[in-house]
Structure 1
Amino acid sequence: MINVGVLGATGAVGQRFVQLLASHPWFNLQTLTASERSAGKNYRDAVNWRLDEPFPDSVGDIVVSKTDVDSVKGLDIVFSALPADLATNLETDISRAGVAVCSNASSHRMDKNVPLVVPEVNPDHLGLIDLQRDSGNDGFIVTNPNCSTITMVSALNPIQHRGLSDIRVATMQAISGAGFEGISAMSIYDNVIPYIGSEEKKMEAETLKIMGSFDGSVITNAPFSISASCHRVPVIDGHTMAIWVDTKASVEELKNDFRNYKAPFTGLPTQPEKSVLLFEQEDRPQPRLDRNRGRGMTVSVGRIREGVRFIAMGHNTIRGAAGASVLNAELIVSKKYL
């Protein structure tokens, strides 16, 4: 078994990591870290479990550790659900201590030698791990992108070969993306908030890196432009977005691309049967009906129209966060980077 831990295990994404890893067939979850307020307590006593999945009793007696390098030394992989300001130095120090870091934090996503990976889209970018190891470390950092970026690039991947020159996206993002305490009920109820700090810049920058080309030493950004407008809506889980793409392909050609799309690998435990699922109904996808498809790992698309315009939707804390990072780790193992 591969020994793993979770940094920031009591927060929204941290709890998703715990849920996905508690009975994972490859990974032995043995270390959970949190703030000093929670350190020393059994996990069941330290966490206020708020997910719609039952609390995994198998990890309830794990004693929560402080979030530092010493707590995770000796592990094979740590999954980071830390805020960006805490993650920046700590993830670097952990990788230098010989541990692989699979991070959901934004701190290192745009670093030159750090892979920003969506496994179905750019698995070859894991080659940047070799460049990190040129400095003499056994450890390394691999990141997954922002939750809205993951949904968009997953939806664009089946049609990228058609030639994309300009992409515009308007998101309708669930409140869980802001964490348990992120938005008050008085702010979001009966409301739409037309601004999410730094979200638009992340979508625009991260997409170009993910869908760019890797020559073994550097990534060249994808050759198209992106314009994003991001909005918070009163939905608990599931980011929905309207996407406009300039391409000469017809609607039926794009539908066939989505119908026939298959991931470039098989056999990873967190991988869904369909990474991208096409809906023919005019009123789908919808977050309440479709966010849990593929155990939350499937991105749904629909309403493909001339222009080209379509809708994409994905579960933001599973496909867009913890599940993406776990799938990255499975791909790392399958490619023998540990």
Structure 2
Amino acid sequence: MTTVGVLGATGAVGQRFVQLLAGHETFELSVVTASPDSAGETYRDAANWGLDTPVPESIAELPVQPTTPAAIPDDTALLFSALPSDVGAEVEPALCEAGFVVSSNASNERRAGDVPLVVPEVNADHLGLIDVQRDARGWDGALVKNPNCSTITMVPTLAALTEFGLDRVHVATLQAVSGAGYSGVTSMEILDNVVPHIGGEERKMETESRKLLGEFTGAEVQHHDAVVSASCNRVPTLDGHLENVFVETSDHPAPADVAAAFEDAPTLDLPSAPDPLIETFTAPERPQPRLDRMRGDGMAIAAGGIQTTDTGIQYNCLAHNTIRGAAGASILNGELLAREGWV
């Protein structure tokens, strides 16, 4: 078993990490960290547990450690980060300098030229940036990121469509409230309402998508030249981001060609990887968050409503935002890191 830890383990995404790592076939969770106020408490007492399964008994009595390099045992092979981006910007580099490998969900450094931003089924070869990163920063550890939850919902479908020539992508998102964390959106803001703005989300989708679809040259990632524009909206759904995607393509595929490309999207032989990666519906009213967010144990992308347009295609896609879009994505990256010998 590979010993792992979770940074920021008491928050919403941190709890999802703990839930998914309990009973993992190759990872053993032995370290949980949180803010200094929680340090020294048991995980059961420190976490205001909000998921629909009990706190895992194997982890409930672990003592919460402060999020510092000195508090983490040297034999911890891999750290999963659920830290807020401002905390991650300070703590994650210090951990990498101390020799730890960090698979992070935090948004800091996703756009950095030497930091791999990875969806394993799409761009596993971008892990080659780790050597570039180590040379540039002079550390023995490594920092790897998964993309934003809305980006990761869309990009596997775009990767499947590159054979048709991606020219321009327009996306409108309908994003669940859990993406903002427990205190991110109040009930008075979201009940009977839609909030047509999520700070920084559009920019993340527009830049991260092009990096993920880009080509690793051995020294850098050359971003894909497709133009991506996004409009991001918060809706009163608990979990599951639904996205309306309009793709302008060089070729003009029929809906059946698009569905076939989705169905042929590659899968990986990793514990958390879904098979199939993209589940495709013919019914025009699918996918829907309540019905389809747990496809592939929450790790699959659901797609449907495929139609042709004057300039390309339109479809809808959906993923569970705290599983595939956050903790599950980081764990899948960790499994890839272990398989490829980086851990």
TM-score w.r.t. length of structure 1: 0.98
Q: How does 1:101-180 map to 2 (within 5 A)?
A: 101-134=102-135, 135-180=137-182
Deviating beyond 3 angstroms after TM superposition, the runs of 4 or more aligned structure 1 residues are none
Q: Distance in 2 between matches of 1:150 and 1:4?
A: 24
Residue among 253, 261, 278 paired with 1:257 = 261
Partner of 1:302 in structure 2?
304
Bigger drift between 68-77 and 157-166 goes to 68-77
Cα offsets for 1:210-236 (capped at 9, x unmatched) = 101111101111011011000000000
Partner of 1:18 in structure 2?
18
Q: Distance in 1 between matches of 2:63 and 2:322?
A: 24
**1:164 counterpart letter in structure 2:** L
Q: Distance in 2 between matches of 1:155 and 1:238?
A: 16
Q: Distance in 2 between matches of 1:53 and 1:171?
A: 28
Query: What secondary structure sits across from 1:244 in the alignment?
Result: strand
In the TM superposition, residue 136 of structure 1 has moved relative to its aligned partner by 4.2
Q: How does 1:275-294 map to 2 (within 5 A)?
A: 275-294=277-296
**2:193 counterpart letter in structure 1:** N
Partner of 1:36 in structure 2?
36
Query: What secondary structure sits across from 1:302 in the alignment?
Result: strand
Partner of 1:189 in structure 2?
191
Q: Percent identity?
A: 50
**1:100 counterpart letter in structure 2:** V
The alignment status of 1:210 with 2:212, answered yes or no, reads yes
TM-score w.r.t. length of structure 2: 0.96
Q: Distance in 2 between matches of 1:73 and 1:221?
A: 37
Q: Distance in 1 between matches of 2:179 and 2:159?
A: 23
Partner of 2:67 in structure 1?
67
Q: Distance in 1 between matches of 2:317 and 2:49?
A: 29
Unaligned segments of structure 1, at least 5 residues: none
Cα offsets for 1:113-150 (capped at 9, x unmatched) = 10000111110100001112225422100000000000
In the TM superposition, residue 72 of structure 1 has moved relative to its aligned partner by 2.0
Q: How does 1:228-247 map to 2 (within 5 A)?
A: 228-247=230-249
Partner of 1:5 in structure 2?
5
Partner of 1:198 in structure 2?
200
Asked if structure 2 preserves the Cα contact closer than 8 Å seen for 1:72 and 1:78, the reply is no
Q: CA RMSD in A?
A: 1.0
Unaligned segments of structure 2, at least 5 residues: none
**2:222 counterpart letter in structure 1:** T
The alignment status of 1:315 with 2:320, answered yes or no, reads yes
The alignment status of 1:90 with 2:94, answered yes or no, reads no
